[in-house]
Amino acid sequence: MKKPNKVEQLSINGISLDFINSDDAIEIDRGIRESIKGIKYSIIAIAISLARVKTEKIFLKLGFKKNSEYLGALIVECDVSRSSIYNWLYIGETYFKYKNELEEIGFDKEKSHAKLPYLKRALAVGDKNEVFNNLMNMNIEEFSNYARARNNRQSGDFPFWEDQGYIYMHKGKKAIIINKDLGDKTTNMLKAALNAAFKALERNGKIVAVHLDNAREVRLFKPAARRIRDRIREKKR
């Protein structure tokens, strides 16, 4: 096999990456391993920071009205994919949500952060102790398969419906997937409609769709609609 041409000297933040031009197999291997380790440390640091920017509304101090605007700027200016940014954000949010449990079991967030996107789904499979034990002892492929195994169980083992962020589950099966690229306004409207629909289905109820032009009309309509509904139910008794 033809040997690749050497590339110009590289460094990141003052750390030399000269191993890419080395003729020493051990030095190349060590450089690869150390670089991978560095990437893992960087990702969890980015993930936790992104979660803080959103939760603590740090994006406002940076001149952005919404967190999605800040993320959009990162995508463009840092030339990173939208899916990567939002996946890192989800990792950070998951870490903060289960931080106490993760610290209690000694979870290595730098080494094993790639498992975190599957944690919420896994918690729907079995009891909490089982899930966190598997989180510690399974590799990423095993844990992701374990989390997805919920689809192979009997539908009676699952809640009637679940909101898993961008995925809606119905009795353990994927029912609806919302495209992450739709934007906050569209996504929030769809989620509100879906939540109402699933609640109605669960109660064997019905839904009447009413188009309103703005938030003021919504505020005025809701109490009026409740009063009408209550009067109708009173007549049925």
Per-residue pLDDT averaged across 153-174, rounded? 71
Any bridge partners for residue 9, and if so which? Answer: none
What is the DSSP pairing of strand 161-163 with strand 11-12? unpaired
Answering whether pTM is above 0.85, one says no
Any bridge partners for residue 167, and if so which? Answer: 177
Mean pLDDT across the chain: 81
Query: In angstroms, rounded to a whole number, what is the distance separating the alpha carbons of residues 47 and 116?
Result: 11
Query: In angstroms, rounded to a whole number, what is the distance separating the alpha carbons of residues 124 and 159?
Result: 9
* pLDDT the model gives residue 163: 78
* pLDDT the model gives residue 150: 56
* pLDDT the model gives residue 154: 44
> Counting every residue, how long is the chain?
237
Query: In angstroms, rounded to a whole number, what is the distance separating the alpha carbons of residues 187 and 180?
Result: 8
